[in-house]
Structure 1
Amino acid sequence: MDPSPAMSRAPIQVERFLDRLPIPRRIVPYGTKKGVKLYRVRAAEFTARLHSQLPAARLWGYDRQYPGPVFEALQGEPIEVEWENGLPQRHLFQVDRRIHGAMAPVPEVRMVPHLHGARTESESDGLPEKWFTPGESRRYSYPNEQRAATLWYHDHALGITRLNVYAGLSGFYLLRDREEMGMDLPKDDYEIPLLLQDRTVDASGVLLYLPTHEDGKELPPGQWGPEFFGNLPVVNGAIAPYLEVEPRPYRFRVLNGANARFFELTFNLGRDASHPSLVDFQQIGTDGGLLPAPASLNRLLLGPAERADIVVDFSRHAGRTLTLQNSAWAPYPGWTMFNIRPQPVPELMQFRVSLPVRPNRAAVNVKPVAFARLDEKASVRTRDFVLSERVDGFGRSLGVRIDGKGYDDPVSETVKLGTVETWRFINTTDDAHPMHLHLVQFQILHRRTFDTLAFPRVLQFVGNPRPPAANEAGWKDTAIVRPNEVLSILVPFEGYAGRYVFHCHMLEHEDNDMMRPYVVVR
């Protein structure tokens, strides 16, 4: 069957809050070898309904499910995963052969899984150029030596990451440790992963990938575009679902797995966003694990690839309905170029507090977490990275770059294992960018506004540095840098020597060409 002829079909809307939230199943090992648990995961094409009112869609998924199965791992217990490429020879979507990594004679269908947020050897990192084709497999080792965290895995194949992830190749990896397990936190049925994405489908249920220029102009089928925003919210593979809950605390592992959309989340008891009655919740963890102390919030911003570990207490809301809403502009943080306003997705899912409370209801008790703030004085070097966009004669994007370099340009950053460095991302573009580093977890030092008229002649700051918000004051592997802003992070290079990458996690940007390699040496 041919790939979807993107621009020939019209996107549709469907009735929201009609279907139950799917809960991804847990994967179990098929055996052990010298005490190491062994897993096998096969990526394959399958069909499934994204909504009960739609026919089944063709999707790609790990173990033929979307999202993929949930890994549960324990700190200090390494595992090995055999990743098998069981995908067809033709892609679900047309591949743009003009961008790096996808040019002929490279095969159309390739995959390479990346465990996002994990500290692994380079050979198991899922480097984008280490793809493999249908019928091939790779065995990766995950040492699980870091602290408990909400990690996730997704495809990372060079030049087609946006297409493979959009087709369905992503899933959760929950790493636990004894500190986290010793806390009184909601667990089992009361700990639920939430993968937030956006998708576009037509009346026959076909998944459509329809990127555009920044001005909203449609692109020819198969051509790369700098923006993609689906018109339908998808949570755990279902369009605008609902979840029945008990009036008690729940723990949600929230992941922004969208290609490019930011989510600014609220839990609203009101009828809609124009009648807000927001419910407070506790964020207890971020990308790299538990925060030093819980942060009390009623609004949560997540860029693509960011995670939040939150506790929502429904105890006082029996018989009521809360709607998970999104107020983030797309593109984020929002601009009025050509007066274009992409289709928002203001309502993601519902929580219906309709179940009776079961026995053994435990109180939530988040104990203080051992946490050491990095000292800026320990940094041995500061590196600056300028984020800039190339445009054509009409002002339309030809791709976004870091320091004007593409992924295939020679390595320019070599760091020493065991040292701490300061990395500064200088954003000269109109978009906010979620910047992600492989191998490491880092701490946000601060953000500062800079004078764009004086730059690049001089980097001149305006106003005082802004420290991270309470819910960002932990370990991170992805952080947002807004337009006209410098994001400064402290990065301890721990774990392994070898080749790794850093990039924007807006997948359209990553694919063309906002990604660079770096090398760790001993």
Structure 2
Amino acid sequence: MRRRQFLGGSALGVAGLIGVGVPLVGSARRGGQGVSPGSLLTSRAKLPKPYEVKLPIPKVLEPVSSSGTTDTYEITQQVADLEILPGLRTQAWTYGGTFPGPTLVSRSGRRTRVKHRNELPQPTVVHLHGGHAPADSDGYPTDLILPADGSISADQATAAMVEGMHGHSAHGRPPGTLGMAKGERTYTYPMNQPAATLWYHDHRMSWTGLSVWRGLAGFHLVQDDEEEQLPLPKGDRDIPLLIADRAFEEDGSFRYPLTDTKLLRPGITDEFMDGVLGDAILVNGAPWPVHEVDRAHYRLRVLNGSNARPYTLQFDQQPSGGQAFAQVGSDGGLLERPVRHDAIHLGTGERADVVVDFSRWRAGTRVRLVNTLADGTAREVMAFDIKAGAVSDDAKVPDKLVRFPRLDPAKAVMTRDFHFRQDRYGWVINDQPYKPGRALARPKLRQLEIWRFTTNQRHPVHVHLNHFQVLSRNDVAPGPYDVGWKDTVDLPSTQTVEVAVKFTDYAGTFMLHCHNLEHEDMAMMGDFVTE
């Protein structure tokens, strides 16, 4: 895709250059968080009516071995034919044959090793989003796992990452990264971090959008003693919810606007340069599912696993008194105190752990969860059917959750600026398209810094290695969804967000990037090196 193709005749046009999205019917609209980016890709398949499919719960993966310090898991990345739309088969790229992949559950302070075997027809990279891990297990975008069958060589994989992309270069891969492995790679996660809702997904340079769209995503939960002592909902009332929009071809296959369907060169058609939005909303891989709940407290671990679509989620009918959501956790773990909301906003990649007391609605009520940033089919998300009958419920939301160490911005040694914007190359940071090995920053370990993110259009900014704390938005107080430890922060157009961050434990090369996956694939990434 050349400069003329990118700027001329695209759905962005002048609107994209001045930082205004192009909302389409059924895709996005103006809301409390501004205009959603992206263009709508409509399905050619007949979509089912909402709330006819039961909510699937991803299976929890058991370790293949355990020692006194370490749990070891094995996951095979494989093609699987799934029934996502009733009566049709969808060929997905999966972790272990399911979408989402299996949920991993780790113990804080106990090492987790995950061996991934790639039996897919394409190279992959695995990133544990929110994981505090050394560089060789972070999922650097050129540290590929080549297909086990040898169908793609290292040279072919390199060419497939760089040809035709704005400013991408395969040269200059920094020392200390693993490069390419054939067939298998083992990732080691020390898990020196508190209880949190993390997720893992593909992170291959130039191809992340397609790979995640086709199914390469799953939950990874961290537990610890402090969380277990709290009276939060547990067991069947602790539910992970991966929300993702998709589009489907007439035969049920995933629809995605590739320029090269043979997958030899990366790139999407002009009109989707701002992000791909689907018209079907999947929750845990099911279209608009329904879940039966008791009149009791439930913990919902909500993840925005979409490529480009933000969500402002609320119930179609509020309980008496409002504030249906008690937020107890954010990207990096539990909050110091719960925060109550009528709605929850999530940019792509963000998570929110919320507790909902379904006893606040009458038995027999169907409560719909909707996205107020969308119209049409994309407005509906899922539903909860509230069962009749008395049940035991000893869960509650305590006034105090966990100890929360605050980063003092007065102790910051420096402030760094990162400008996320569009230019002649595509999507860039500080006027530079991504080049592996070119560091945008070299922060010192254990030194506090302030990082300032500025955008000209909506960009959810994700930082690897350590979580951060939001200090301000446009030089005023943080927003209602900026609480807690964050690894991703959603920036509407023409906003500036300041965060405090301190990198600890691991020296090496890590990433910051936009988590609109189409923007990420089109060079809106940057390396930083901790020293």
Shorter-chain TM range is 0.7 to 0.9
TM-score where L is the length of structure 2: 0.80
Partner of 2:452: 424
1:280 aligns with 2:324: yes
- Superposed, which structure 2 residues align to 1:74-85 within 5 Å? 74-85=107-118
Residue ranges of structure 2 left out of the alignment (5+ in a row):
1-40, 149-182, 260-265
The one-letter amino acid paired with 1:433 is: H
The answer to whether the 8 A contact 2:258-2:269 is kept is: no
Shift of 1:513: 0.8
| 2:473 paired with 1:439 | no
**Secondary structure in structure 2 of the residue aligned to 1:193:** strand
What SS class does the counterpart of residue 147 from structure 2 fall into?
Answer: coil
* Residue number in structure 2 paired with 1:26: 60
Aligned twin of 2:433: 406
1:199 and 1:110 map into 2 onto residues whose CA distance is 22
> In structure 2, how many angstroms separate the alpha carbons of the residues matched to 1:444 and 1:20?
37
* Alpha-carbon distance change, 366 to 175 in structure 1, aligned in 2, over 3 angstroms: farther
SS at match of 2:439: coil
**For residues 44-63 of structure 1, what are the structure 2 equivalents within 5 Å?**
44-52=78-86, 54-63=87-96
Matched, 1:377 2:410: yes
After superposition, residues 285-364 of structure 1 pair within 5 angstroms as: 285-317=329-361, 318-328=363-373, 345-354=378-387, 356-359=389-392, 361-364=394-397
Tell me the TM-score normalised to structure 1 length: 0.82
Any idea what SS the aligned residue of 2:210 has? helix
Q: Is the 8 A contact 2:128 2:198 kept in 1?
A: yes
Structure 1 residue 204, shift from structure 2 partner: 2.0
2:525 pairs with 1:490: no
- Residue number among 206, 209, 224 corresponding to 1:177 in the alignment: 224
Aligned-residue CA RMSD (Å): 2.4
What is aligned with 2:73? Answer: 39
- 2:213 equivalent to 1:159: no
Deviation at 1:420, TM superposition (A): 0.7
Specify whether residues 443 and 363 from structure 1 end up closer, same or farther in structure 2 by C-alpha distance, changes over 3 A only: closer
* Partner residue in 1 for 2:135: 122
Matched residue, 2:100: 67
Q: Aligned pair in 2 of structure 1 residues 235, 20: CA closer, same or farther (>3 Å)?
A: same
Equivalent residues in 2 for 1:72-151, closer than 5 Å = 72-88=105-121, 109-135=122-148, 136-151=183-198
User: Contact (CA 8 Å) 1:25, 1:69: kept in 2 or not?
Assistant: yes
Give 3-state SS (helix, strand or coil) of 1:405's partner: coil
Sort the Cα spacing of 1:356 and 1:143 in 2 relative to 1 into closer, same or farther, 3 A. farther
Moved more, 405-414 or 377-386: 405-414
1:345 aligns to what SS in structure 2?
A: helix
Report the residue type matching 1:10 in the other structure: R
Secondary structure of 1:183's match? Answer: coil
Aligned to 1:386: 419
- Cα distance in 2, alignment partners of residues 402 and 322 from structure 1: 42
**Equivalent position SS for 1:283:** strand
Summarize deviations over 1:353-402 as a string: whole Å, max 9, x none: 025444354444353421122111111011111111025xxxxxx52100
- For structure 1, the residue ranges without an aligned partner over 5 or more in a row are 1-6, 89-108, 213-218, 271-275, 330-341, 392-397, 449-464
Moved over 3 A (4+): 219-224, 276-279, 355-368
Name the structure, 1 or 2, with higher relative contact order (CA <8 Å, separation 6+): 2
- Identify if the C-alpha distance between structure 1 residues 349 and 368 changes in structure 2 by more than 3 Å, giving closer, same or farther: closer
Instruction: Work out the CA distance in 2 between the residues paired with 1:366 and 1:85.
Output: 46
Which of 289, 300, 305 is the equivalent residue of 1:241?
289
Structure 1 residues 278 and 373: alpha-carbon distance in aligned structure 2, compared to 1, 3 A threshold: same
Q: How many pairs does the alignment contain? A: 448
Query: What are the superposed Cα offsets for residues 400-443 of structure 1, whole Å, 9 maximum, x if unpaired?
Result: 1001112216223111001111111111x2x3111000001000
* Contact kept in structure 2, 1:244 and 1:355, CA below 8 Å: no
Q: Alpha carbons of 1:506 and 1:178: their partners in 2 closer, same or farther (altered >3 Å)? A: same
The answer to whether the Cα contact below 8 Å between 1:439 and 1:500 also exists between their aligned partners in 2 is yes
